[in-house]
Amino acid sequence: MTENPNPTPSPAVDGVVDVTGTPTDVAPVASGRLVVAVDGPSGSGKSSVSKQVARSLGAVYLDTGAMYRAAAWHCVNEGVDLDDADAVTEAVRGMELTQSTDPDSEHIAVGGHDVTEAIRTPEVTAVVSRVAGVIPVREILQGRQRAEIERAGRIVAEGRDVTTVVAPDAEARVLLTASEQVRMARRSGQLAAAASGVDAETLKAQVAGRDRTDSAHSSFERPADGVTLVDSSELDFDQTVAAVLAAVQLQAGAPAVEGHRP
Protein backbone atom coordinates (compact mmCIF):
# COMPACT_ATOMS: atom_id res chain seq x y z
CA MET A 1 0.00 0.00 0.00
CA THR A 2 1.65 3.22 -1.20
CA GLU A 3 0.40 6.56 0.05
CA ASN A 4 -0.88 8.97 -2.57
CA PRO A 5 1.94 11.58 -2.95
CA ASN A 6 -0.60 14.29 -3.78
CA PRO A 7 -3.35 14.06 -1.17
CA THR A 8 -6.35 16.33 -1.34
CA PRO A 9 -5.80 19.24 1.08
CA SER A 10 -7.93 19.14 4.19
CA PRO A 11 -10.81 21.61 4.27
CA ALA A 12 -10.49 21.67 8.06
CA VAL A 13 -7.48 23.75 9.07
CA ASP A 14 -6.71 23.43 12.75
CA GLY A 15 -4.11 24.99 14.98
CA VAL A 16 -1.80 23.47 17.53
CA VAL A 17 -3.67 22.11 20.51
CA ASP A 18 -2.36 22.07 24.05
CA VAL A 19 -3.37 18.52 24.96
CA THR A 20 -2.13 19.14 28.49
CA GLY A 21 -5.36 20.98 29.09
CA THR A 22 -6.64 24.11 27.37
CA PRO A 23 -6.82 24.27 23.54
CA THR A 24 -4.93 27.18 22.00
CA ASP A 25 -5.09 28.88 18.60
CA VAL A 26 -7.79 26.57 17.33
CA ALA A 27 -9.94 27.38 14.31
CA PRO A 28 -13.63 26.40 14.41
CA VAL A 29 -14.26 22.79 13.44
CA ALA A 30 -16.46 21.80 10.54
CA SER A 31 -20.17 21.57 11.27
CA GLY A 32 -21.60 18.23 12.30
CA ARG A 33 -20.21 15.95 14.98
CA LEU A 34 -18.42 12.90 13.64
CA VAL A 35 -15.94 10.88 15.67
CA VAL A 36 -14.11 8.18 13.72
CA ALA A 37 -11.99 5.80 15.78
CA VAL A 38 -9.34 3.73 14.00
CA ASP A 39 -7.20 1.07 15.66
CA GLY A 40 -4.61 -1.30 14.28
CA PRO A 41 -1.20 -2.93 14.77
CA SER A 42 2.12 -1.53 13.57
CA GLY A 43 2.43 -1.39 9.79
CA SER A 44 -1.30 -1.61 9.15
CA GLY A 45 -1.23 1.82 7.50
CA LYS A 46 -3.55 3.40 10.04
CA SER A 47 -1.70 6.72 10.27
CA SER A 48 -1.49 7.54 6.56
CA VAL A 49 -4.98 6.17 5.91
CA SER A 50 -6.50 8.03 8.88
CA LYS A 51 -4.97 11.31 7.71
CA GLN A 52 -6.49 10.91 4.27
CA VAL A 53 -9.84 9.89 5.74
CA ALA A 54 -9.74 13.06 7.88
CA ARG A 55 -9.03 15.16 4.78
CA SER A 56 -11.93 13.54 2.94
CA LEU A 57 -14.31 14.14 5.85
CA GLY A 58 -13.22 17.70 6.59
CA ALA A 59 -12.13 16.55 10.03
CA VAL A 60 -9.11 17.05 12.25
CA TYR A 61 -6.75 14.19 13.01
CA LEU A 62 -5.38 12.85 16.29
CA ASP A 63 -2.41 10.48 16.44
CA THR A 64 -2.74 8.99 19.93
CA GLY A 65 0.42 6.93 19.46
CA ALA A 66 2.41 10.15 19.13
CA MET A 67 1.34 11.05 22.67
CA TYR A 68 2.90 7.87 24.03
CA ARG A 69 6.05 8.53 22.00
CA ALA A 70 6.20 12.08 23.35
CA ALA A 71 5.80 10.73 26.88
CA ALA A 72 8.63 8.25 26.32
CA TRP A 73 10.89 10.97 24.90
CA HIS A 74 10.07 13.20 27.87
CA CYS A 75 10.93 10.50 30.41
CA VAL A 76 14.24 9.69 28.70
CA ASN A 77 15.10 13.38 28.33
CA GLU A 78 14.39 13.96 32.02
CA GLY A 79 16.47 10.97 33.06
CA VAL A 80 13.51 9.17 34.62
CA ASP A 81 14.07 5.57 35.70
CA LEU A 82 11.74 3.66 33.37
CA ASP A 83 11.55 0.81 35.87
CA ASP A 84 10.01 3.17 38.44
CA ALA A 85 6.31 3.30 37.52
CA ASP A 86 5.57 6.07 40.01
CA ALA A 87 8.36 8.27 38.65
CA VAL A 88 7.23 7.66 35.07
CA THR A 89 3.64 8.50 36.00
CA GLU A 90 4.57 11.78 37.68
CA ALA A 91 6.77 12.78 34.76
CA VAL A 92 3.95 12.20 32.28
CA ARG A 93 1.41 13.90 34.53
CA GLY A 94 3.50 17.08 34.50
CA MET A 95 4.40 16.91 30.80
CA GLU A 96 3.46 20.02 28.80
CA LEU A 97 2.43 18.65 25.43
CA THR A 98 1.19 20.44 22.34
CA GLN A 99 0.18 18.53 19.24
CA SER A 100 -1.09 19.56 15.85
CA THR A 101 -4.43 18.10 14.75
CA ASP A 102 -4.06 19.23 11.14
CA PRO A 103 -3.71 16.09 8.96
CA ASP A 104 -1.46 18.05 6.61
CA SER A 105 0.99 19.32 9.23
CA GLU A 106 2.50 17.24 12.01
CA HIS A 107 3.92 19.21 14.92
CA ILE A 108 4.54 17.90 18.43
CA ALA A 109 6.26 19.81 21.22
CA VAL A 110 7.09 18.96 24.82
CA GLY A 111 7.75 21.89 27.12
CA GLY A 112 7.99 24.14 24.07
CA HIS A 113 10.68 21.93 22.49
CA ASP A 114 9.90 20.57 19.01
CA VAL A 115 10.08 16.76 19.21
CA THR A 116 8.24 15.98 15.97
CA GLU A 117 11.22 14.07 14.57
CA ALA A 118 12.81 13.03 17.86
CA ILE A 119 9.86 10.87 18.91
CA ARG A 120 10.26 8.74 15.76
CA THR A 121 13.88 7.74 16.41
CA PRO A 122 14.85 4.10 17.13
CA GLU A 123 15.88 5.14 20.64
CA VAL A 124 12.34 6.25 21.47
CA THR A 125 10.77 3.32 19.63
CA ALA A 126 12.82 0.96 21.79
CA VAL A 127 11.35 2.28 25.06
CA VAL A 128 7.87 3.56 24.20
CA SER A 129 6.16 0.32 25.22
CA ARG A 130 7.78 0.48 28.66
CA VAL A 131 6.22 3.87 29.25
CA ALA A 132 2.91 3.02 27.58
CA GLY A 133 2.66 -0.13 29.68
CA VAL A 134 2.34 1.87 32.90
CA ILE A 135 -1.41 1.83 33.61
CA PRO A 136 -1.64 5.31 35.24
CA VAL A 137 0.23 6.74 32.24
CA ARG A 138 -2.35 5.21 29.91
CA GLU A 139 -5.15 6.68 32.02
CA ILE A 140 -3.58 10.16 31.95
CA LEU A 141 -3.09 10.15 28.18
CA GLN A 142 -6.47 8.55 27.50
CA GLY A 143 -8.06 11.39 29.45
CA ARG A 144 -6.25 13.95 27.31
CA GLN A 145 -7.32 12.09 24.17
CA ARG A 146 -10.98 12.06 25.22
CA ALA A 147 -10.84 15.78 25.98
CA GLU A 148 -9.43 16.54 22.54
CA ILE A 149 -12.00 14.34 20.82
CA GLU A 150 -14.82 16.07 22.69
CA ARG A 151 -13.39 19.50 21.90
CA ALA A 152 -12.90 18.81 18.20
CA GLY A 153 -16.30 17.29 17.53
CA ARG A 154 -15.35 16.23 14.00
CA ILE A 155 -12.23 14.12 14.22
CA VAL A 156 -10.44 10.97 13.12
CA ALA A 157 -8.49 9.53 16.04
CA GLU A 158 -6.20 6.56 15.55
CA GLY A 159 -4.19 4.31 17.81
CA ARG A 160 -4.52 0.94 19.49
CA ASP A 161 -7.34 1.33 22.01
CA VAL A 162 -9.37 4.17 20.56
CA THR A 163 -12.28 1.98 19.40
CA THR A 164 -12.58 0.17 22.73
CA VAL A 165 -11.32 2.43 25.54
CA VAL A 166 -10.87 6.03 24.43
CA ALA A 167 -13.92 6.45 22.18
CA PRO A 168 -16.15 3.36 22.40
CA ASP A 169 -19.17 5.56 21.59
CA ALA A 170 -17.65 6.98 18.39
CA GLU A 171 -20.03 7.32 15.46
CA ALA A 172 -17.74 5.03 13.46
CA ARG A 173 -15.16 2.50 14.64
CA VAL A 174 -12.72 0.64 12.40
CA LEU A 175 -9.98 -1.92 13.01
CA LEU A 176 -7.44 -1.64 10.19
CA THR A 177 -5.13 -4.61 9.82
CA ALA A 178 -2.99 -6.54 7.34
CA SER A 179 -1.02 -9.77 7.26
CA GLU A 180 2.24 -9.86 9.24
CA GLN A 181 4.29 -10.14 6.03
CA VAL A 182 2.64 -7.07 4.53
CA ARG A 183 2.95 -5.07 7.75
CA MET A 184 6.67 -5.84 8.06
CA ALA A 185 7.26 -4.83 4.45
CA ARG A 186 5.49 -1.52 5.00
CA ARG A 187 7.37 -0.71 8.17
CA SER A 188 10.63 -1.63 6.47
CA GLY A 189 9.82 0.75 3.63
CA GLN A 190 8.95 3.55 6.05
CA LEU A 191 12.20 3.14 7.95
CA ALA A 192 14.24 2.92 4.76
CA ALA A 193 12.68 6.19 3.58
CA ALA A 194 13.65 7.74 6.91
CA ALA A 195 17.20 6.35 6.62
CA SER A 196 16.90 4.86 10.10
CA GLY A 197 19.48 2.11 9.55
CA VAL A 198 17.32 -0.50 11.31
CA ASP A 199 17.90 -3.97 9.82
CA ALA A 200 15.11 -6.45 9.02
CA GLU A 201 15.63 -8.70 12.04
CA THR A 202 15.74 -5.77 14.45
CA LEU A 203 12.61 -4.35 12.86
CA LYS A 204 10.77 -7.65 13.19
CA ALA A 205 11.77 -7.94 16.83
CA GLN A 206 10.72 -4.34 17.57
CA VAL A 207 7.32 -4.64 15.89
CA ALA A 208 6.57 -8.06 17.38
CA GLY A 209 7.73 -6.93 20.81
CA ARG A 210 5.66 -3.76 20.76
CA ASP A 211 2.56 -5.58 19.53
CA ARG A 212 3.02 -8.23 22.21
CA THR A 213 3.48 -5.67 24.99
CA ASP A 214 0.66 -3.41 23.86
CA SER A 215 -1.74 -6.32 23.38
CA ALA A 216 -1.65 -6.81 27.14
CA HIS A 217 -3.42 -3.44 27.50
CA SER A 218 -5.20 -2.93 24.17
CA SER A 219 -7.45 -5.02 21.91
CA PHE A 220 -6.20 -4.21 18.42
CA GLU A 221 -5.84 -7.68 16.92
CA ARG A 222 -9.54 -8.59 16.68
CA PRO A 223 -12.48 -6.21 16.25
CA ALA A 224 -14.69 -5.68 19.28
CA ASP A 225 -18.47 -5.80 18.91
CA GLY A 226 -19.62 -3.03 16.60
CA VAL A 227 -16.16 -2.42 15.13
CA THR A 228 -15.71 -2.92 11.37
CA LEU A 229 -12.67 -4.91 10.26
CA VAL A 230 -10.78 -3.64 7.20
CA ASP A 231 -7.97 -5.92 6.00
CA SER A 232 -5.65 -4.00 3.68
CA SER A 233 -3.31 -6.90 2.86
CA GLU A 234 -4.34 -6.90 -0.81
CA LEU A 235 -5.45 -3.29 -1.09
CA ASP A 236 -3.49 -0.28 -2.29
CA PHE A 237 -3.62 3.05 -0.46
CA ASP A 238 -6.61 4.53 -2.29
CA GLN A 239 -8.56 1.29 -1.99
CA THR A 240 -7.89 1.16 1.75
CA VAL A 241 -9.04 4.75 2.22
CA ALA A 242 -12.18 3.97 0.21
CA ALA A 243 -12.87 0.89 2.35
CA VAL A 244 -12.55 2.87 5.58
CA LEU A 245 -14.77 5.67 4.25
CA ALA A 246 -17.36 3.07 3.25
CA ALA A 247 -17.26 1.65 6.77
CA VAL A 248 -17.68 5.15 8.22
CA GLN A 249 -20.68 5.88 6.03
CA LEU A 250 -22.24 2.52 6.85
CA GLN A 251 -21.93 3.15 10.58
CA ALA A 252 -22.44 6.91 10.84
CA GLY A 253 -24.74 7.51 7.89
CA ALA A 254 -24.36 9.73 4.85
CA PRO A 255 -25.48 13.00 6.55
CA ALA A 256 -22.71 12.73 9.16
CA VAL A 257 -20.13 11.92 6.52
CA GLU A 258 -21.21 14.92 4.47
CA GLY A 259 -20.78 17.23 7.45
CA HIS A 260 -24.36 17.64 8.61
CA ARG A 261 -25.89 16.55 11.85
CA PRO A 262 -28.05 13.42 11.35
Annotated binding site for ATP: 40-48
Cα 243 from Cα 255, distance rounded (Å):
18
Q: 132: which residues sit within 8 A by CB, 6+ positions away?
A: 68, 71, 72, 138, 213, 214, 217
Mapping DSSP to helix (H, G, I), strand (E, B) and coil, where does residue 49 land?
helix
Annotated binding site: 40-48
Mapping DSSP to helix (H, G, I), strand (E, B) and coil, where does residue 63 land?
strand
**For residue 117, how many other CB atoms are within 10 A of its CB?**
10
Q: 176: which residues sit within 8 A by CB, 6+ positions away?
A: 38, 39, 40, 44, 45, 46, 49, 230, 232, 240, 244
Residues in the chain: 262
What type of residue sits at position 106?
E
